[in-house]
């Protein structure tokens, strides 16, 4: 006769003592006080299917019984769980914690209460205790076995593979097969045994804790995770099911979710006899009615589901337990039911505030004391809380991300601080290395990324080498040291290294303050970056060899933005430090230990940014003019040779770029797409060339001096049309939308005002340049200029030179949109990187990528260690929104990017990172206000 297999209890499973008799939540915490009266035995069935009997008074409330169970289990986060039982109507209902036992259980001796998970958070990493996660894993196992957690065969097999890895250890074919034949984990398991064993063979080396983690990771992505279906019908009599989750009320048809009503959209939930009513907040963009009605089996069914909705809403949405309603004087109206217990936020805060050092559930000492003489748990070595496991592997993901060496718990507030510093903005290592490589390239030194470009010391003049390395070397050393210190602090914060070191490391302000104070002496080097830009431009004009070298470097995948932008990166990084510190100061209360250091560091970096304010304006404008020069044919006066010989010449000798983009020009042939470039003294209009480089050919120029502008939609019968009236000619143009027309008109009016204060010198230079190129007037010949004519005006070297066709100018041309200098400045401030999951419109799976947002584009890398992006997505013209219910994207923290028929979905890891990505992407898809336009008379947006 085969002996029945012994099943370990929850405490034994985690290596805890059989009965500790004390909660780990509070030192000295005692079992609940039992009221006087006749006692009765209550049977509780645990999640591991063992039964425990508790002796309680009949006058005791449901909370007394529930607290006894939590004390018995040594469970801290008990608020996620509850007790359920079958009432006299054969319905499963939750035990009311406020009511006495005698008023709920008709026959307490013959009723079995089940201890189960009640509230399922969206992410199991929100559970701070390993024991809590283990109990959740048992709940998943139970839901699979009874068919409640329905899923496809592959998911079911994968889930079971993690369960048996936790129970019997590493894969051994005969043992695994026999175990599956003796134990049933899912309905129709026999048909999936081979698939389960295939997955099990891939789990070699996973500890029980790691298997539990993977089980929850797979389960939480299933549509029916944590869902209890309540049968109902709609108004047409179609059979449906209602459910409630942390997000709101869900509607299912069979096992498929067909609708969801987020808590933010729900105004009121109520029931009237058999009818369950959902009243929605008014939404002009929605086709739903104000009130939705569902018919359930009985009034009791309605009330039970309504109670569950009330509790779910309170637990996940409220900051604290709702206060009881005052008792009515004469008569009652409606239900007095309310949620009782701590909300999820209170649970997390309570654990955070507890000073008690938690007893590690898996340690050699406790494992031995639990009766396992070999120190084994389910046939495998236990995982130590910190450092490395006995077999040399990293600690369990269930403990190491949340507990440091002292056993203290990392809280949501601390996590948010960490994310502000090391989340999307974390580890700009590749950018720093690329800046170094750019400098080494220009000075003939070895490139760290193994550039195939041929480099010689004679390529760059000594003046350029001296300027670049005398300024960049000290800054590179500073940035590298700063980055290294931040990484070390974050590693200590997360318990990823030096676990033996004691101290309060969950702060960052002291590191920021120390390094930013060390930055002040380097301000002089930062101020000389304008000299580096000028020297590079002069050197490229004087050396064709260096010009080709720079061009070839920019054509490489590793150089995903223009090379001279990297010269400005150390300045841009100051703005990022300032932003991070501003967010930290807003997050911390004034009494926080880190607040004073963060505020002092913010003052220091703000002082440096203020000193460099003027240089930033000049250098960004100069860099943009150099970039535009490469995209334009037929104009050389944007950066006139000889006019900019030093950084002092940047003050007044250069144009100020204001806006570029597409407008349709009205001519005898009708509306024709043209690319317009607006500066502080002139408006250029161009057409896209038919060359291999697709550069833009300048056709005409409209000096802004004495120009007037007026709307002329009614006059010409063209939507969004306006007329530019100059001294020599008038031009009628049309924008693609009303908003585009308003942006152009506002910027042109402002530029006209700027031109009135100018002496017209730059406009005269431009006119001569255009005259030399025989394109001052636009006629039918110019419109029909052939490809051969365009090619003939350029040297053989220029004709053969490859050129990237994905610059901002080309993106605006294809997307029929525009972008201003203010938008460029905002884009500099809003740079971001981090992991995102990407999904195409018609694909099923999500792909994890490392994503960098800069220069109005998303750059996709397989990992953050890759040298160059796999692909890029320019965002100009795109819209960013939240997916609608009809798109069936049933995931949290998802945003949608779409342009015409092109649709992409992206998922972030948390609410904070979701908001940050939305914030920076909107900066690329929504133009900044032109009231922030750059001018010499108005402050820069910095």
pLDDT (0 to 100) of residue 381: 33
pLDDT (0 to 100) of residue 660: 92
Q: Which residue has the tokens 């930062």?
A: 526
**Can you give the pTM of this predicted structure?**
0.51
Instruction: Provide CB contacts within 8 A for 431, sequence distance 6+.
Output: 569
Q: Are 45 and 112 within 8 A, CB to CB?
A: yes
Angle at 810 between CA 806 and CA 816, to 5 degrees: 135
Show the domains of the chain with their CATH numbers.
40-220 (3.10.20.90), 229-322+338-347 (2.30.29.30), 428-633 (1.20.900.10), 831-935 (2.30.29.30)
pLDDT (0 to 100) of residue 103: 86
**Residue 229 CB neighbours (<10 A):** 16
If you ran DSSP here, which 8-state letter would residue 342 be given?
Answer: -
196: which 2 tokens?
A: 């389960």
pLDDT (0 to 100) of residue 161: 94
Q: Residue 471 burial by CB count (10 A; 0-12/13-18/19+): exposed, middle or buried?
A: buried
Q: Are 525 and 531 within 8 A, CB to CB?
A: no
pLDDT (0 to 100) of residue 84: 93
Q: Are 82 and 31 within 8 A, CB to CB?
A: no
* Pairwise CA distance, residues 48 & 13, whole Å: 10
* Pairwise CA distance, residues 425 & 428, whole Å: 7
3-state secondary structure of 515: helix
pLDDT (0 to 100) of residue 284: 53
* Pairwise CA distance, residues 897 & 614, whole Å: 35
**E strands of 533-656, at which residues?**
632-633
pLDDT digits (tens, 9 = 90+) for 857-916: 898 988 877 777 888 888 888 999 999 888 888 888 999 999 888 899 999 988 888 988
Q: Residue 788 burial by CB count (10 A; 0-12/13-18/19+): exposed, middle or buried?
A: exposed
Q: Are 713 and 666 within 8 A, CB to CB?
A: no
Beta bridge partners of 734: 664, 721
* Pairwise CA distance, residues 794 & 792, whole Å: 5
555: which 2 tokens?
A: 């054509």
* Pairwise CA distance, residues 921 & 858, whole Å: 9
Question: How far is C-alpha 597 from the chain's CA centre?
Answer: 27
Low-confidence residues of the chain: pLDDT under 70: 1-32, 283-289, 323-338, 352-459, 494-505, 560, 636-637, 639-653, 689-693, 758-806, 927-942
Instruction: Provide CB contacts within 8 A for 560, sequence distance 6+.
Output: 859, 868, 869, 872
pLDDT (0 to 100) of residue 758: 62
pLDDT (0 to 100) of residue 138: 94
If you ran DSSP here, which 8-state letter would residue 740 be given?
Answer: H
Instruction: Provide CB contacts within 8 A for 253, sequence distance 6+.
Output: 238, 239, 240, 241
pLDDT digits (tens, 9 = 90+) for 208-243: 888 888 899 899 989 899 999 999 998 888 899 999
Q: Largest Cα–Cα distance in the chain?
A: 108
Instruction: Provide CB contacts within 8 A for 615, sequence distance 6+.
Output: 526, 527, 529, 530, 571
User: How long a stretch of residues is the chain?
Assistant: 942
* Pairwise CA distance, residues 85 & 743, whole Å: 65
pLDDT (0 to 100) of residue 139: 94
Q: Are 13 and 48 within 8 A, CB to CB?
A: yes
490: which 2 tokens?
A: 């974050």
Q: Residue 73 burial by CB count (10 A; 0-12/13-18/19+): exposed, middle or buried?
A: buried
* Pairwise CA distance, residues 928 & 824, whole Å: 9
784: which 2 tokens?
A: 């029909």
767: which 2 tokens?
A: 């006119």
* Pairwise CA distance, residues 105 & 102, whole Å: 6
Helix (H) or strand (E) holding 259: strand 256-262
């Amino acid at each position: 006769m085969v002996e029945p297999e012994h099943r370990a209890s929850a405490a034994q499973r985690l290596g805890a003592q059989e009965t500790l008799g004390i909660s780990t939540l509070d030192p000295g915490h005692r079992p609940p006080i039992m009221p006087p009266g006749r006692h009765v035995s209550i049977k509780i069935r645990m999640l591991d299917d063992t039964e425990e009997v508790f002796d309680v008074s009949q006058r005791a409330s449901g909370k007394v019984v529930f607290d006894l169970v939590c004390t018995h289990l040594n469970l801290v986060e008990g608020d996620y769980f509850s007790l359920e039982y079958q009432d006299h109507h054969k319905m499963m209902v939750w035990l009311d914690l406020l009511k006495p036992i005698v008023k709920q259980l008709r026959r307490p001796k013959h009723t079995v209460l089940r201890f189960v998970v009640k509230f399922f958070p969206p992410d199991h990493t929100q559970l701070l205790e390993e024991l809590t996660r283990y109990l959740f894993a048992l709940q998943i196992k139970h839901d699979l076995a009874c068919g409640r957690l329905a899923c496809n065969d592959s998911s079911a097999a994968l889930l079971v593979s993690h369960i048996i890895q936790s129970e019997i250890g590493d894969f051994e074919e005969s043992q695994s097969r026999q175990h599956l034949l003796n134990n049933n984990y899912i309905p129709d398991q026999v048909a999936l045994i081979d698939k389960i064993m295939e997955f099990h063979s891939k789990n070699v080396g996973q500890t029980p804790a790691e298997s539990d983690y993977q089980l929850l990771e797979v389960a939480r992505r299933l549509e029916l995770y944590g869902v209890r279906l309540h049968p109902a019908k709609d108004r047409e009599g179609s059979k449906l099911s209602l459910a409630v989750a942390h997000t709101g009320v869900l509607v299912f048809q069979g096992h498929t979710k067909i609708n969801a009503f987020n808590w933010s959209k729900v105004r009121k939930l109520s029931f009237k006899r058999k009818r369950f009513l959902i009243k929605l907040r008014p939404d002009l963009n929605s086709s739903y009615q104000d009130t939705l009605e569902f018919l359930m089996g009985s009034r009791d069914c309605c009330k039970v589901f309504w109670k569950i909705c009330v509790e779910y809403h309170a637990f996940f949405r409220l900051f604290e337990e709702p206060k009881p309603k005052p008792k009515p004087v004469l008569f009652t109206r409606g239900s007095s039911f309310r949620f009782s217990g701590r909300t999820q936020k209170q649970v997390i805060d309570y654990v955070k505030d507890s000073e008690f050092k938690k007893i590690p559930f898996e340690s050699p000492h406790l494992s031995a004391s639990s009766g396992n003489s070999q120190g084994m748990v389910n046939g495998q070595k236990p995982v130590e809380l910190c450092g490395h496991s006995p077999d040399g592997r990293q600690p369990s993901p269930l403990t190491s991300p949340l507990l440091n060496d002292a056993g203290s718990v990392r809280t949501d507030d601390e996590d948010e601080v960490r994310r502000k510093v090391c989340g999307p903005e974390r580890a700009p290592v590749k950018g720093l290395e690329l800046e170094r490589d750019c400098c080494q390239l220009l000075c003939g030194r070895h490139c760290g990324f193994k550039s195939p470009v041929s480099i010689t010391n004679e390529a760059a003049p000594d003046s350029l080498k001296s300027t670049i390395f005398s300024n960049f070397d000290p800054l590179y050393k500073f940035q590298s040291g700063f980055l290294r210190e931040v990484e070390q602090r974050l590693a200590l914060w997360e318990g990823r290294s030096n676990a033996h070191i004691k101290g309060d490391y969950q702060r960052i302000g002291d590191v920021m303050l120390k390094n930013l104070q060390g930055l002040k002496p380097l301000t002089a080097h930062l101020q000389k970056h304008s000299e580096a830009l000028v020297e590079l431009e002069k050197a490229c004009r004087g050396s064709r060899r260096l010009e080709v070298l720079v061009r070839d470097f920019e054509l490489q995948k590793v150089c995903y933005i223009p090379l001279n932008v990297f010269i400005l990166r150390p300045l841009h990084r100051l703005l990022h430090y300032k932003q991070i510190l501003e967010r930290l100061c807003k997050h911390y209360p004034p009494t926080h230990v880190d607040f004073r250091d963060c505020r002092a560091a913010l003052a220091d970096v703000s002082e440096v940014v203020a000193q460099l304010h003027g240089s930033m304006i000049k250098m960004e404008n100069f860099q943009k003019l150099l970039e535009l020069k490469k995209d334009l044919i037929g104009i050389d006066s944007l950066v006139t040779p000889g006019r900019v010989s030093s950084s002092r010449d940047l003050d007044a000798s250069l144009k100020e770029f204001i806006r570029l983009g597409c407008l349709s020009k009205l001519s005898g042939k009708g509306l024709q797409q043209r690319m317009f470039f607006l500066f502080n003294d002139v408006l250029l209009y161009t057409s896209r060339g038919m060359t291999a480089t697709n550069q833009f050919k300048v056709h005409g120029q409209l000096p802004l001096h004495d120009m007037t502008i007026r709307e002329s939609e009614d006059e010409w019968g063209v939507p969004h049309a306006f007329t530019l009236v100059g001294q020599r000619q008038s031009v009628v143009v049309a924008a693609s939308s009303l908003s585009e027309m308003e942006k152009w008109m506002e910027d042109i009016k402002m530029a006209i005002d700027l031109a009135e204060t100018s002496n017209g010198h730059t406009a005269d230079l431009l006119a001569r340049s255009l005259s030399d190129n025989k394109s001052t007037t636009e006629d039918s010949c110019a419109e029909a200029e052939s490809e051969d004519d365009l090619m003939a005006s350029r040297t053989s070297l220029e004709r053969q030179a490859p050129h990237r066709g994905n610059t901002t100018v080309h993106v605006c041309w294809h997307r029929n949109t525009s972008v201003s200098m203010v938008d460029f400045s905002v884009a500099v401030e809003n740079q971001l990187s981090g992991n995102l999951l990407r999904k195409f419109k018609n694909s099923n799976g999500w792909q994890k990528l490392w994503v960098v947002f800069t220069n109005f584009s998303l750059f996709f890398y397989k990992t953050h260690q890759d040298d160059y992006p796999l692909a890029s997505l320019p965002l100009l013209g795109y819209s960013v929104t939240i997916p609608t219910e009809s798109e069936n994207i049933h995931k949290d923290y998802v945003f949608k990017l779409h342009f015409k028929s092109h649709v992409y979905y992206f998922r972030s890891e948390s609410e904070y990172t979701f908001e940050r990505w939305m914030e920076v992407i909107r900066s690329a898809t929504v133009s900044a206000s032109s009231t922030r336009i750059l001018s010499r008379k108005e402050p820069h947006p910095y």
